[in-house]
Amino acid sequence: MDIDQDVEPSVQRALFEQVRRHTGIAMSERKWTMLKGRLRRRVMALGLPDYRDYLQVLDTNADEVGDFIDLVTTNETSFFRTPRIWEYFAQTFLPQWFAAHCGETLRVWSAASSSGEEAWSTAMLCEEFRAREAAFRYAIVGTDISDGILASARAGSYKGRSFEGLRERHAALLQKYFHSDGAQADVVDALRAHVVFRRHNLYAAPRDLGQFDLVLLRNVLIYFDLEGQRAVLANVRRAMRPDAVLIVGESESLSRVTTGFTFEQPLVYRNGHSREERDHEHA
């Protein structure tokens, strides 16, 4: 029996709703082929006759929800993705922040951090800056909704395309910040001391993450509808200090969304909170 045959529209819609319920990601009928491609092997592994039975498993087995989230979320990233962002971070943001925040610790949030390349890229550039400014201190929090991908991020061990890209474009950083045998690279302890990874759903208020000076929310908003984008951005903004910076992905813009952010340059936005507004929100 082919479980992909004649899947009722009501079952498709119910699975889309499960995706939205657990991740906030909006899917339509156009995404059905992709979704069933991700779920098919899991449904068969559980010995279920069809997707309707899988819906019952999701409703009755809390442990299955984690596997479901791992399957339906997209985790694609690389070291130093979108070079212009990293040039801005190293050459503009870090010097300006350090000059204005003497004695403070820079806090960076890599939201939807996937397998960790973004967080470790940030840490490498922070270490490079600290080599020039010994008083500079930093802390990085990477979050994702998928427990499986968070385990990979924490491991800090890379091979394949991630490793090859780093070796080809940033050989000096690879040599300095990774232990490598030529086929795999493992993050050194000097970076690990400044980076933690935690589970967080961007649809939820970030109550225990603290306040950040910089948030990397890249290639995330494209998976949400307009309502979802507003909700995610509102939650992210709650975790940002006044005048903090938000960086989005190369295919994203906040022009369609009414937010408290102001445009600074392509992909870079400034939090428009006043201190009075911040005090009111936390009153």
Terminal Cα-to-Cα distance of the chain (whole angstroms): 59
Return the CATH number of the domain spanning residue range 83-281.
3.40.50.150
CATH topology of domain 9-72: Chemotaxis Receptor Methyltransferase Cher; domain 1 (1.10.155)
215 sits in which H/E element: strand 212-217
**pLDDT at 89 exceeding the cut of 90:** yes
**pLDDT at 7 exceeding the cut of 90:** no
Higher pLDDT, 195 or 43: 195
- pLDDT for 75 equals 63
Q: In whole numbers, what is the pLDDT of the chain averaged over residues?
A: 88
The answer to whether residues 20 and 26 touch, using CB atoms and an 8 Å cutoff, is yes
Of 258, 262, 257, the residue nearest 273 (C-alpha): 262
Of 72, 63, 69, the residue nearest 32 (C-alpha): 72
Checking DSSP bridges between strand 157-159 and strand 212-217, what pairing results, if any?
Answer: unpaired
Give the global pTM: 0.78
- pLDDT for 207 equals 85
> pLDDT exceeding 70 applies to what percent of the chain?
93
The domain segmentation of the chain, as residue ranges, is 9-72, 83-281
Average the pLDDT over each of 47-51, 118-122, 232-236 and give the range with the smallest value.
Answer: 47-51
CA distance 122 to 250: 17
What is the signed CA dihedral for 54, 60, 61, 64, rounded to 10 degrees?
A: 30
**pLDDT at 278 exceeding the cut of 60:** no
Average pLDDT on 219-248 reads 91
The type of residue at 99 is A
- pLDDT for 74 equals 66
